[in-house]
């Protein structure tokens, strides 16, 4: 970083991160076997199902994602017998790394024509318990989830994605727990993990889809929603939503489906700069350009300050 800063102009922003993606997971430390569950099991299931396309003798896995059942054991056992490992149906260190190496080989992850396959965070929460002072990959996953959720749930601050569970991450966890009606202790156990994944996956499932003619979209009410927040999110008014849905009060029920009228968009939205933001990232996030943001805000450089308020063109 010192070398780069020495040779690049002052108006060039150089960002660094501790987050590395695309590498295969390391052995979790304990064997996986019948009855095991969690993200590590889902990882192995994903790897084996992909390897099976090149080695069709391996039976398909039909167990629920993240659950080590009979079909997962059969696939593991057959894999072990093919590659000269003890066919006991248990994923120990030797089996884990053999599966990982075969997965890398068949998907050619290191080549330019990579399939681009990545498990990401999966759909099964980690089974770890995190609290202030924790660190590692699960903390990065937690911080990533909170960052995404904070975009849609006002009042939940966005923590830095540094893999360290500090006071900022704890504050974000507490705010999330409060919005979900959980015990706000700042500790991420199984209930909080489940709520995080439900909220994260729900965001993708509840992106409004405009009707072909009317311009009306549908929205499923989530925990923490209110008519005012929904109206702000979709650039409309509370009265317009109530009229369209025949509502006589402001009360909403979680899971309730609302019709959202065509947006009455302002020419811009107001955004407060957070740690890690750059004009380039904001332009990509909101489908605009750096120059458009700079022109709207009268900026003469690309430098941003945390807490700075920007107008983002829509």
Of the candidates 274, 280, 287, 278, the one whose C-alpha atom is nearest the C-alpha of residue 313 is: 287
Is the alpha carbon torsion for 107, 111, 116, 121 positive or negative? positive
Q: How buried is residue 15: exposed, middle or buried, by Cβ count under 10 Å (0-12/13-18/19+)?
A: exposed
d(CA 229, CA 245): 16
CA torsion angle for 52, 95, 104, 63 (degrees, to 10)? 40
For residue 266, what pLDDT is reported?
53
Structure tokens belonging to residue 266: 């302002």
Q: Which H or E run contains 312? A: strand 309-313
Please name the residue that has the structure tokens 């150089």.
14
CA distance 226 to 249: 11
Count other Cβ atoms within 10 Å, centred on residue 257. 11
The residues with which 270 forms a beta bridge, in sequence order, are 311
Distance CA 190, CA 259 (A): 34
Q: What is the dihedral of CA 253, 257, 263, 265, to 10 degrees?
A: 40
Indicate the helix (H) or strand (E) that contains 222.
none
**C-alpha to C-alpha distances, 193 to 133, 143, 287, nearest whole angstrom:** 17, 12, 31
Helix 190-205 vs helix 167-179: angle between axes, to the nearest 10 degrees? Answer: 70
Q: What is the pLDDT along the chain (314 residues), one digit of tens a residue?
A: 677 767 766 666 665 554 444 445 567 888 999 999 988 898 899 889 888 877 778 888 999 888 999 999 999 999 998 888 899 999 999 999 888 877 776 665 434 344 444 445 667 888 889 999 998 878 888 888 888 788 777 788 888 877 889 999 999 999 999 988 999 999 999 999 999 988 887 765 554 444 444 557 778 887 777 888 787 777 778 888 888 888 888 888 877 888 887 655 556 677 888 877 888 888 877 778 888 888 888 888 888 888 888 888 76
DSSP 269-295: EEEE--TT--HHHHHHHTT--HHHHHH
Nearest to 188 by CA among 136, 254, 119, 118: 136
What radius of gyration, in Å, describes the C-alpha atoms of the chain?
Answer: 23
**Measured distance CA(153)–CA(146) in Å, rounded:** 10
Nearest-angstrom CA–CA distance, 239 and 249: 10
Tell me how far apart the alpha carbons of residues 140 and 161 are, in angstroms, rounded to a whole number.
6
Per the structure block, which two tokens stand in for 4? 């780069």
User: How many CB atoms sit inside 10 A of residue 89's CB?
Assistant: 20
Surface-to-core class of residue 288, CB atoms within 10 Å of its CB (0-12 exposed, 13-18 middle, 19+ buried): middle
């Amino acid at each position: 970083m010192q070398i780069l800063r020495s040779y690049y102009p002052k108006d060039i922003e150089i960002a660094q991160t501790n987050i590395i993606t695309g590498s295969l997971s390391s052995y979790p430390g304990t064997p996986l076997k019948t009855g095991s569950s969690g993200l590590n099991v889902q990882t192995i299931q994903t790897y084996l199902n992909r390897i099976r396309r090149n080695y069709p003798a391996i039976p398909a896995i039909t167990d629920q994602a993240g659950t080590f059942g009979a079909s997962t054991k059969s696939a593991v056992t057959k894999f072990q017998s093919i590659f000269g490992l003890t066919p006991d149906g248990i994923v120990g260190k030797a089996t884990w790394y053999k599966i990982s190496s075969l997965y890398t080989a068949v998907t050619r992850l290191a080549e330019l024509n990579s399939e681009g396959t990545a498990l990401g965070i999966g759909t099964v929460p980690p089974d770890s318990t995190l609290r202030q002072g924790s660190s590692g990959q699960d903390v990065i996953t937690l911080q990533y989830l909170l960052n995404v959720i904070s975009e849609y749930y006002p009042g939940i601050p966005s923590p830095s994605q540094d893999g360290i569970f500090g006071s900022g991450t704890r504050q974000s966890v507490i705010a999330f727990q409060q919005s979900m009606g959980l015990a706000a202790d700042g500790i991420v156990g199984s209930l909080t993990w489940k709520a995080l994944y439900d909220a994260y996956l729900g965001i993708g499932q509840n992106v409004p889809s405009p009707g072909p003619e009317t311009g009306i979209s549908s929205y499923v009410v989530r925990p923490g929603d209110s008519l005012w927040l929904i109206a702000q999110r979709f650039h409309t008014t509370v009265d317009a939503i109530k009229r369209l849905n025949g509502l006589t009060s402001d009360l909403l029920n979680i899971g309730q489906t609302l019709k959202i009228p065509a947006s009455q968009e302002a020419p811009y939205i107001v955004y407060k700069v957070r740690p890690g933001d750059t004009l380039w990232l904001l332009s990509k996030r909101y489908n605009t350009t750096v120059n458009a943001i700079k022109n709207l805000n009268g900026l003469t450089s690309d430098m941003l300050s945390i807490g700075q308020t920007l107008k983002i063109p829509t």
